[in-house]
């Protein structure tokens, strides 16, 4: 029996490894997950509690899973983070911090943080069917991107120290002469990049929204249900009681985490209201208060990420999440009333 124990202890223990494949309509080549002494928690940042994908990953890795909407998880302790971001904020922040990010929505890199969303740290469209055990033959290095960054910095430092210090006066004179050209080149490059990002944002965010709303309105028109759409928009956003009820419903903490993802709902509702205003079915005065009523939930899904990035204590995170979420119940109604009063005073 003692010999068997010695033999068993001599055999290297095989660590549990999980492979996350890309889901239907998703993006990425897949991620390999393995717990380490430093990284041993699965963070779930989805509305409605811990997501089934996060639960399955934690069960396969035999590690704890934490609801990041209720308690703080240190970035250094995360094996991965599971989120449901349809926009650009949460989806890009965690890859920027070299955290393996699993998006349950079929989203692709976009927005100002798109350059950080790479196949090495991000995969989307994931369901429980894409979470499976791996054969264990893949080597995982959670700090791979950090090491690459360190190596690049070391190379830059080495090259700067190895440069020759002779001819300082000639270099200063050359810089002075070439400064106007450099300034012009920098300005043109800045304008080019700004235009490129503007077009990219339009193609990835504005245009799909326009097409989606167009299909929605066209469907009502095709089935002769334009009157139904007009009544829905009127009774929800074309009068003060409807806007107040909508603001309260959207600001309920249980719903705000769902509705805030991607800020899509508010955009669609405002476009529908604008369409009805253009048709002459609703007065223009309701547009301004409707902006506050339909967007009261925006940002609630990003609160845990923002508080974690601020290095807040766990008690601060818990108190901050509840304070901001429940304060929306009060401020939502106040904002709608102020906006309505302002529109009245402006003579709309």
Task: DSSP for 289-340, please give it.
Answer: HHHHHHSTTTTGGGHHHHHHHTT--HHHHHHHHHHHHHHHHHHHHHHHHHHH
User: Could you tell me which of 308, 78, 76 has the C-alpha nearest to residue 66?
Assistant: 78
Q: Any idea how long the chain is?
A: 348
Q: Is the dihedral of CA 139, 142, 146, 150 positive or negative?
A: negative
Q: Which residues pair with 45 in a beta bridge?
A: 83
Burial of 321 per CB tally in 10 Å (0-12, 13-18, 19+): buried
Taking the C-alpha atoms of residue 18 and residue 174, their distance in angstroms, rounded to an integer, is 57
Calpha distance 214→310 (Å, rounded): 40
Q: How far apart are the first and last CA of the chain?
A: 89
Q: Which of 35, 85, 300, 335 is catalytic?
A: 85
Give how far Cα 265 sits from Cα of 136, 285, 345, Å: 42, 21, 29
Q: What are phi and psi of 123, to 5 degrees?
A: -150, 145
Does 85 participate in catalysis according to the annotation?
A: yes
DSSP states of 233-255 as a string?
HHHHHSSHHHHHHHHHHHHSHHH
For residue 341, give the H/E element and its range. Answer: helix 314-345
Question: What is the set of active-site residues?
Answer: 85
């Amino acid at each position: 029996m003692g010999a068997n124990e010695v033999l068993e202890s001599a055999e290297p223990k095989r660590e549990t490894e999980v492979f996350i494949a890309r889901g239907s309509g998703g993006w990425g080549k897949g991620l390999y997950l393995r717990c380490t002494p430093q990284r041993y928690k699965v963070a779930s940042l989805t509305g409605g509690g811990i997501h089934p994908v996060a639960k399955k990953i934690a069960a396969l890795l035999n590690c704890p899973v934490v609801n990041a909407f209720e308690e703080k998880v240190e970035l250094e302790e995360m094996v991965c983070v599971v989120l449901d971001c349809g926009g650009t904020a949460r989806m890009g922040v965690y890859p920027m911090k070299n955290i393996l990010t699993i998006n349950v929505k079929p989203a692709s890199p976009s927005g100002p943080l798109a350059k950080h969303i790479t196949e090495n740290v991000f995969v989307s469209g994931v369901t429980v069917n894409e979470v499976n055990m791996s054969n264990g033959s893949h080597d995982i290095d959670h700090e791979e991107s950090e090491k690459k960054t360190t190596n690049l910095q070391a190379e830059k430092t080495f090259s700067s120290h190895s440069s020759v210090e002779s001819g300082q006066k000639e270099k200063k004179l050359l810089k002075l002469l070439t400064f106007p050209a450099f300034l012009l080149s920098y300005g043109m490059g800045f304008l080019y990049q700004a235009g490129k990002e503007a077009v990219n944002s339009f193609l990835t965010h504005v245009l799909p929204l326009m097409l989606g709303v167009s299909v929605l309105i066209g469907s009502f028109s095709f089935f002769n249900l334009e009157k139904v759409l007009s009544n829905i928009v009127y009774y929800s956003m074309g009068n003060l009681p409807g806007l107040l009820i909508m603001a309260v419903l959207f600001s309920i903490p249980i719903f705000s985490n769902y509705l805030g993802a991607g800020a899509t709902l508010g955009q669609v509702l405002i476009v529908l209201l604008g369409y009805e205003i253009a048709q002459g079915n609703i007065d223009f005065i309701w547009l301004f208060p409707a902006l506050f009523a339909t967007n009261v939930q925006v940002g609630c899904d990003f609160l845990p990420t923002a508080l974690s990035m601020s290095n807040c204590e766990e008690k601060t995170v818990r108190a901050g999440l509840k304070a901001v979420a429940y304060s929306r119940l009060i401020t939502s109604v106040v904002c709608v009333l102020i906006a309505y009063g302002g529109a009245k005073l402006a003579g709309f």
